[in-house]
């Protein structure tokens, strides 16, 4: 692979990592998914690149990985919270005088009745 091709791949990957960071900060998960294939291809084209430049790109990748991990943590947290809310809506949990928990499942859908 020529030095020019390696430099182009390096510059393109540098720009792509900046775009990935912007997408992560904006919460644009669709864009992040589209960038993955391009990133894999550009990383494969970095053979023969300067070690110091590769280390700089690795730092950017690590920075973006932290952002991605935090985004996934937030998504999991929301999913867990929504699951908890669904469980709460389906049943009623109470405690008896001895502190034992009891759950009562709701049979039908809750409806709000409007009266004039």
Domain boundaries, the chain: 3-105
DSSP 112: P
**What is the reported pTM?**
0.67
Half-sphere exposure of 8 (CA within 13 A, CB side): 7
Residue 40 vs residues 44, 46, 47, 58: alpha-carbon distances, Å: 6, 10, 13, 13
Phi and psi at residue 115, to the nearest 5°: -125, 145
Instruction: Using a pLDDT cut of 70, give the percent of the chain over it.
Output: 91
Kindly report, residue by residue over 39-91, the tens digit of the pLDDT: 998 888 887 778 888 899 999 999 999 999 999 999 999 999 999 888 777 77
């Amino acid at each position: 692979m020529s030095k020019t091709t390696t430099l182009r791949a390096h510059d393109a990957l540098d720009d792509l990592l900046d775009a990935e960071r912007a997408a992560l900060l904006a919460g644009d998960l669709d864009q992040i998914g589209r960038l993955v294939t391009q990133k894999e291809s550009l990383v494969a084209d970095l053979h023969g690149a300067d070690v110091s430049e590769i280390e700089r790109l690795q730092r950017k990748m690590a920075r973006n990985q932290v952002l991605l991990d935090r985004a996934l943590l937030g998504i999991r947290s929301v999913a867990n919270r929504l699951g908890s809310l669904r469980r709460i809506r389906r049943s009623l949990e109470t405690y008896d005088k001895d502190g034992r928990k009891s759950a009562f499942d709701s049979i039908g859908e809750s409806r709000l009745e409007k009266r004039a």
